[in-house]
């Protein structure tokens, strides 16, 4: 590495799984480039990582729902003389109000933040990684991407399915280049996600504790998988059982299952 420590760019690093991934990577000696909209939590995290792990953590504030944000982010990184050796596409959110009751602007934002931004950032950063013979791309998808789409958060599952398939294609295309690509498919994870979409109370009462995982554990499993060059990883036994069921059941039965899920959450 010639004295240059490798740096990992993490989107959505101000909270939840992204912040946990930042801690996981810092613990392994990687420098970090942290991005999200909220500067305060990013700064606090950067200071913590520098203090506890002696790594460098730089911050770039960006709203990935803005068209052109991925290009501007990569330019900002270059202007500061930084280099992203790895990329974690993690930023995300959902709306649970149903397709027609959701503001079309929110639909556009979901697609930009969780689909367009990962595609654009991968396209911008992969050539450098391949040229240098080393790279890591971890796409935070979801168990929802492995199940039939649920009612209520209509676009969320399809967006995450896209990310899983795109990761698989990239995994194939990067074989032998030193670049690893993985889709991480967490189930219910303790983060700010369900506070942001306003479903905390419903999901907490509808789903028992054993269905939930800590963000730290999800992050560790995700990073271990990308180091091992696995195209996809689903953390936790229960989530793997659900993912397998989702793939095996005939459509009508699977839709009944996710329909029940949506009803329990008051989304149908
Ligand atoms: N929690 C779960 O149960 C669960 C399960 C499966 C998959 N996931 C996935 O895990 C990923 C991380 O979510 P989380 O659970 O850690 O949720 P979280 O705690 O709410 O964190 C979401 C992160 O995304 C960032 N973000 C949201 N909108 C953004 C925007 N427009 N521009 C830039 N950054 C934005 C947020 O930062 P700012 O608000 O500061 O911008 C925050 O750092 C998401 O892709 C989510 O779909 C979560």
Per-residue pLDDT of the chain (268 residues; tens, 9 = 90+): 445 799 999 999 999 999 999 999 999 999 999 999 999 999 999 999 999 999 999 999 999 999 999 999 999 999 999 999 999 999 999 999 999 999 999 999 999 999 999 999 999 999 999 999 999 999 999 999 999 888 899 999 999 999 999 999 999 999 999 999 999 999 999 999 999 999 999 899 888 999 999 999 999 999 999 999 999 999 999 999 999 988 899 989 888 888 888 888 887 7
Backbone angles phi, psi at 213, to 5 degrees: -125, 155
Per-residue pLDDT, 264: 81
Q: What superfamily in CATH does domain 7-264 come from?
A: NAD(P)-binding Rossmann-like Domain (3.40.50.720)
Per-residue pLDDT, 3: 54
Ligand 1 midpoint to CA 13 (Å): 8
For the chain, first and last CA: distance in Å? 54
List, as own/partner pairs, every contact residues 174-178 make where C-beta atoms lie below 8 angstroms and the sequence separation is at least 24, other chains included.
174/126, 174/130, 174/135, 177/129, 177/130, 177/133, 177/135, 178/129, 178/130, 178/132, 178/133, 178/134, 178/135
Q: Whose alpha carbon is nearest atom 46 of ligand 1?
A: 92
Per-residue pLDDT, 2: 44
- In the set 156, 188, 190, 207, the catalytic residue is 156
Ligand 1 midpoint to CA 173 (Å): 27
Domain ranges for the chain: 7-264
Q: Which residues line ligand 1 (CB under 6 A)?
A: 11-18, 36-38, 63-65, 90-93, 113-114, 140, 142, 186, 188-189, 191-193, 196
Per-residue pLDDT, 258: 85
Ligand 1 midpoint to CA 178 (Å): 28
Q: Residue 30 catalytic?
A: no
CA distance 136 to 28: 14
Best probe residue, ligand 1, of 9, 11, 13, 17 (max atoms within 8 Å of C-beta)? 17
């Amino acid at each position: 590495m010639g004295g240059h420590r490798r740096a990992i760019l993490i989107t959505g690093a101000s909270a939840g799984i992204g912040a946990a991934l930042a801690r996981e990577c810092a613990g392994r000696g990687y420098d970090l480039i942290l991005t999200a909209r909220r500067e305060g939590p990013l700064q606090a995290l950067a200071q913590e990582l520098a203090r506890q792990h002696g790594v460098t953590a730089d911050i770039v504030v960006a709203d990935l729902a803005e068209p052109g944000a991925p290009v501007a982010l990569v330019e900002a990184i270059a202007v500061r003389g930084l280099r992203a050796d790895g990329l974690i596409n993690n930023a995300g959110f959902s709306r649970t109000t149903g397709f027609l009751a959701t503001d079309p602007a929110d639909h556009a934002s979901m697609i930009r933040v969780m689909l367009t931004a990962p595609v654009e950032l991968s396209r911008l950063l992969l050539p450098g990684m391949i040229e240098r013979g080393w790279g890591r791309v971890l796409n935070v998808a979801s168990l929802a991407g492995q199940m039939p789409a649920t009612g209520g958060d209509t676009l969320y599952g399809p967006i995450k399915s896209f990310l899983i398939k795109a990761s698989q294609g990239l995994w194939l295309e990067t074989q032998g280049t030193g670049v690893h690509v993985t889709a991480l498919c967490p189930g219910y994870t303790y983060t700010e996600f369900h506070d942001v979409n306003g479903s905390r109370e419903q999901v907490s009462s509808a789903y028992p504790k054993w269905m939930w995982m800590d963000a730290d554990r999800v992050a560790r499993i995700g990073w271990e998988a990308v180091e091992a060059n696995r195209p996809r990883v689903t953390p936790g036994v229960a989530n793997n059982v659900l993912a397998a069921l989702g793939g095996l059941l005939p459509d009508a039965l699977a839709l009944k299952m996710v329909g029940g899920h949506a009803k329990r959450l008051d989304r149908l």
